[in-house]
Chain A
Amino acid sequence: MSAIGISKEDIKTIMNSEQTTAQPGAAPKLVTAARPSAVALKTRIFFQWLLPPMFGLLLLGAIWTLISHQSPNLPGPVSTWHSAVELFSDPFYNNSPNDQGIGWNIAASLERVGMGFGLAALIGIPLGFIIGRFQFMSRMAAPIIGLLRPVSPLAWLPIGLLVFKAADPAAIWVIFISAIWPMIINTAVGVSKVPQDYMNVAKVLNLSEWKIVTKILFPFVLPYMMTGVRLSIGVAWLVIVAAEMLTGGVGIGFWVWDEWNNLNVEHIIIAIFVVGIVGLLLELALTSLARQFSYE
């Protein structure tokens, strides 16, 4: 299955990420010192780990400033910062359904993502187990997955609106349908990769299907499953902004749209940062969770 190729890469990335980020990167200068002092260590950490990201952020700021000087409609970092301070000084006000604090908007989006993603996990993970375990099921699912997975998430929105006749469930539906694939596929890949040795053990011990699932499949598949979960939440968060722009209500996506109508460009830029930071935090949380579940 071509779909599987992608997730394998990703699995490798997650496995290796720990090692690649933790490389000591021995600087030859320091080798001469018998034992690097605490100060030397701190400076090394500073130069190797803190300085490059800071340079990156500064560069981004510089480019942004440059562009904002050329194009008078685009606010620069300073005015955006002032606007953000004002915005975040009262994140939870509630004037009307269409005029709420940024905190409420983020919370509403997270809630939708949580619902759609949770449903996708509830259905996708068991489905992945079944598809991975039984070849018949895998062959049966292959054309369905192959056909539906490449569909752009927003193409599902009209179907959701049609079936649920309301914006909110339709948005959750879009999250659900776009978040379910990575979980099904990664779980199935994990199950199909269970070493034959372990299955032979199961056969010789005559284990029941329940024991096979709980003692062999589940522990083995968990890291694969966590990769699927991580990818899914990424997709879900990616999609929510677009979905909310179309459905309206409360939420970070709708807020962006609203501020565009108000021509409040500072707020749009703030929204971009907020979406990015929340996405980053979700990713970090799940990566550390995945690490907890690795048995090695």
Chain B
Amino acid sequence: MIVQLSHPQRQVEIKGPKRTKELLRELNLVMEAHLVIRGDELVTEDEMLADADQVEIRPVISGG
């Protein structure tokens, strides 16, 4: 699956199927600081992501 990341904007290719939780762990990202969005819908950490899915991992921490 294609995973869109921010700060800086980039894309990585990850092999599916994979649970959201595992995807974050693989990329070394904390759940509390990110949202996982498939297409334009939010998904929970137990959701299974398929190889064909368009996934965005969006950071939620801001520095202001």
Indicate, yes or no, whether A interacts with B: no
